Each structure stands twice: as C-alpha cells, then as structure tokens.
Amino acid sequence: MSKLEDIAGRASDIASQLGGSLKHSMPDKALKWVETGAALGAMRTGTRVATRFVRRNPAVAVAAAAGAGLLWYAARRRAKRLEADAPIEGSAKRVEAKRGSRRKSS
C-alpha cells in the first residue's frame, strides 16, 4: 500500500467514527427534527413531481385514481365478508336468525 492509500483509509475511518459519535451525542429531539425536515423536503419534492405528472398525463392520473378506488372497494367488501363468516369464539360459526312460521294457538 502506498502512503496515499493509507491516508485516505485513515481519513475515512476518522470520518466514520466522528459521524457515529456525533449521531450518538445529538439529543433525540434534534435527531427527530432532522428526520422531520428530511421527510418534509421529500414530501414537497414528491408533491411537485406528482403535480407535474398529473398536468402532463391527466388520463393516466384519472385511471390510477379509479383503480385505487376499485381496490379500496374490493378490500372493504372482502373484509366485511370475512367478518361475517368469522368464528365468534373458537370454531363456532355465526348463524343468521330466520323468522319461523307462526304457530296457531288453541
């Protein structure tokens, strides 16, 4: 190894140690603020990209919204069906009550 590679490797090690110790020494609230700021920046960028896409391709956006609505509706119907067929306790099944025929009283 040359001296240049040794120096570059050593600088990389020092930088990683410094970054790790800096991250551990930061208070939790400060780290949360940094994460929140990064998330807000990503959200703003995503919103900007989505707006441009919708302006350029309105038909695709409408089709995507309709598809998302259909998926939501299908998932909702499936959940209701599974809830109706779900066992109450253990292996018991729900039985729908039906009105019986009236008996004549004497």
Q: What is the pLDDT of residue 4?
A: 61
Strands of 5-96, DSSP E: none
pLDDT of residue 95: 76
Radius of gyration of the chain measured on its C-alpha atoms: 31
- Contacts of residue 85, defined as CB under 8 A and 6 or more positions apart, other chains included, come to 93, 94
Instruction: Tell whether the model's pLDDT for residue 63 goes beyond 90.
Output: yes
Domain spans in the chain, listed from the N-terminal domain onward: 8-84
pLDDT digits (tens, 9 = 90+) for 69-101: 999 999 999 999 888 877 666 676 677 888 877
pTM of the predicted structure, to 2 decimals:
0.41
